[in-house]
Amino acid sequence: MDGRPIAIFDSGMGGLTVLHECLVTMPNEDFVYLGDTGRFPYGPRPLDEIRGFALEIGRFLERQGVKMVVVACNSATSAALADLQAELEVPVVGVIAPEAEAAVQATRNRRIGLLATEATVEAGRYASLIRSLDAGVSFFPLACPGLAELIESDTPYGAGTVDAVRAYARPLKQDDVDTVILGCTHYPLIRHVLERAFGRGVTLVFSAEETARKVAETLARKGLARTSEREGVCRFITTGEPEQFRLMGERFLQFPIVEVESVSLAGLGAPA
């Protein structure tokens, strides 16, 4: 039995899709969620810069006394998963491998599309993972600049988002994919918009549920699970504006968020 919390982080709201699945799978665990909204979005940034942010956050979370770090951001997983695993003492779980596996299992015509940030597409981790799982799959990656920003705007389900999603879906439909990986943790927050754009013939794959399963399995195998019967608690931290995070987070997570702590970028990097 290990009562320490599990840390989950993202550039903003997207990791809440992973937190949700973790709450469904592990209701007795405590969680610390950090949204780096002060530096959102990560997607257009160079991979080296994202790696620096992720390492800073990983070290900060470890200093909070967590038992595991979940990188609930595809851009940060692409840029920094290996570095985080090498540097941190606690286990680190990312979001890309579970999706790649699920997509290769789901496709029937062996044509898989990817919607993701510029950084994730540039890093190419999905391409190499899919190739290692089935070299016969045709893979169509597509960067979606601006989509995560639309999702964090005041009108995440507005006409701007619907138009952008339709424009990004068009080339993948022309490529005749039957499976599309939602390779950014923000995208499942507008799942209904995406489902309508692609229609019934296309399977949308996203990692939140698989990631939660992997977190639970890792805890069980390493003897780190919390066995208490009481319901877990969630702590929320942002590098941005706490009230804005609270309102947006409550709406996306459909969970009462009472308090959001603020950490400055200097505080994030400060040693214990």
String of contacts with ligand DGL for each residue 105-144, x by CB under 6 A: ------------x--x------------------------
**Is 164:101 a contact under the CB 8 Å cutoff?**
no
DSSP code per residue over 167-187: HHHHHHHHTT-SEEEEESTTG
CA distance 64 to 69: 11
The reply to whether 194 sits near ligand DGL by the rule CB under 6 A is: no
Site for ligand DGL in 23-42 (CB under 6 A): 40-42
CA distance 181 to 83: 24
Least distance (Å) between residue 260 CB and ligand DGL? 18
How many residues of this chain interact with ligand DGL, rule: CB under 6 A?
17
The reply to whether 207 sits near ligand DGL by the rule CB under 6 A is: no
Which is catalytic among the residues 22, 73, 144, 234? 73
Q: Which residues of 251-261 are buried (b: 16+ CB within 10 A; e: fewer)?
A: ebbeeebeebe
Helical packing angle, 208-221 and 16-25, nearest 10°? 50
Is 22 annotated in the active site?
A: no
**Nearest-CA neighbor of 211 among 34, 57, 5, 71?**
71
The reply to whether 14 sits near ligand DGL by the rule CB under 6 A is: yes
Least distance (Å) between residue 259 CB and ligand DGL? 23
The reply to whether 168 sits near ligand DGL by the rule CB under 6 A is: no
**Is 211:72 a contact under the CB 8 Å cutoff?**
yes
Least distance (Å) between residue 117 CB and ligand DGL? 5
Least distance (Å) between residue 43 CB and ligand DGL? 3
Active site residues: 73, 184
Chain residues binding ligand DGL by CB under 6 A are 10-12, 14, 40-43, 73-75, 117, 120, 148, 184-186
